[in-house]
Amino acid sequence: MHVCTVPTDEPESDGTAEWDSTTIVVVECDEGIGYTYCEQAAAQLIQDTLADLVHEDVRRAWLDMQRAVRNAGRPGIAACAISAVDQALWDRKARTLGVSLVDLLGAAHEDVPVYGSGGFCTYSLDRLREQLGGWASQGIPRVKMKLGREPDADPKRLDVARRAIGDDTELFVDANGAFTAKDALGWAERYADEWNVSWFEEPVSSGDFDGLRMLREHGPGGLDIAAGEYAYTPEDARNIVECVDVLQLDVTRCLGITGVLSASGLANAHGKDVSAHCAPAISAHAFCAVERRRHLEYFHDHIRIEELLFDGRPELRDGALHPDRSRPGNGLELKRKELDKWSA
């Protein structure tokens, strides 16, 4: 197991948080590899509680791990720890069978479309223009920026973003829960009307179900309301799915690949698309098996870290990630010198 903390390339913030580094916990189970973006405490929990529950039956191990953390609290750090182990177990199984993880899970799609994600509130206008415009010029047909920290400054930032990407690229925004529901509704109307924004993520806290539902029901047409990156458990996904247009799931948080498959069935039952939150190297494999997958967040911080630590990442081509189905398992190989360099 490895715990690596990697500094950001410059200070970053969104509507409700600031950070200057990202921590990843990488799990090895024989030849299987899994990971989560979480605190070092996840590694301790894996070592002390989850490691003894690993066995060949992936879904049974998944249930056993959840029972083992009941009193510690399943959402949060425990769910992240289970996510990493669950990924590693699926990867080990695929490698043992000599097949790609996509094929083992049963691919519904050949690829997963992406959207470029960054545009942090701390960025200068020049950096915002460079990053979002760069993704658009690479053929990524949708990009996302953060906002809500200083709402009065956002119109100028949105002007810069829209000019940088042109009229043919979709513009997404993410407030990370910065607004009240009434304020978010007012901004939603402006975003759609003035900048042709088509995606409003976490306009209010993901725990504000009434607020999310109000935005979904009364927001402007053509503007999807999205949330779910903090859906750690099936119960979380159940509570959110009725309140949004698109359910987000994070394979490094929502109890792993098994959790994604479980929650995607819930989305199917409610007629909702699913969008993958972050962690592109593993999300591409998991979400190829999601029937109503819409797209995947190609997140700046995670792109940097996964390029640094892993070989065999899915290829970005024509605005989508394509897992290499000729490679066994998830196709990832660890760059051990880099892991050692950044390990806590």
Neighbours of 94 (CB within 10 A): 24
What confidence score (pLDDT) does residue 56 get?
85
State mean pLDDT over 93-115: 97
CA distances from 192 to 1, 132, 148, 185, 320 (A): 45, 18, 16, 11, 25
Query: Residue 258 and residue 224: Cα distance in Å, rounded?
Result: 26
- pLDDT score at 102: 96
Q: How many helices, marked H, and strands, marked E, lie in the chain?
A: 13, 15
Smallest Cα–Cα separation from 90: which of 116, 65, 57, 66? 57
From 85, 24, 12, 81, select the one nearest 342 (Cα to Cα).
24
Quick one: pLDDT at residue 308? 97
Which stretch of DSSP H or E encloses residue 297? strand 293-299
One-character DSSP codes across 199-237: EEE-SS-TT-HHHHHHHHHHSPTT-EEEE-TT--SHHHH
What is residue 218's predicted lDDT score, i.e. its pLDDT? 97
Axis-axis angle for helices 256-269, 280-287 (nearest 10): 50
Q: Kindly report, residue by residue over 262-289, the tens digit of the pLDDT.
A: 999 999 999 999 999 999 999 999 999 9
Task: Report the CATH fold assignment for 2-99+334-342.
Answer: Enolase-like; domain 1 (3.30.390)
Phi, psi of 289 (to 5 degrees): -95, 5
pLDDT of residue 344 exceeding 90, the answer is: no
Judge contact between 160 and 124, C-beta under 8 A. Answer: no
The pTM assigned to this predicted structure is 0.95
The arithmetic mean of pLDDT across residues 25-33, rounded, is 96
pLDDT in tens, 289-326: 999 999 999 999 999 999 999 999 999 999 999 999 99
CATH superfamily of 103-330: Enolase-like C-terminal domain (3.20.20.120)
**At 298, phi and psi to the nearest 5?**
-90, 80
Assign 72 a pLDDT band (cuts: 50, 70, 90): confident
148-165 tens-digit pLDDT: 999 999 999 999 999 999
Buried/exposed code over 206-245 (b: 16+ C-beta within 10 A; e: otherwise)? bebbebbbbbbeebeeebbbbbbbbbbbbebbebbbebbb
Residue 171 has pLDDT above 70, yes or no: yes
Domain chopping of the chain, boundaries: 2-99+334-342, 103-330
Task: State residue 231's pLDDT score.
Answer: 97
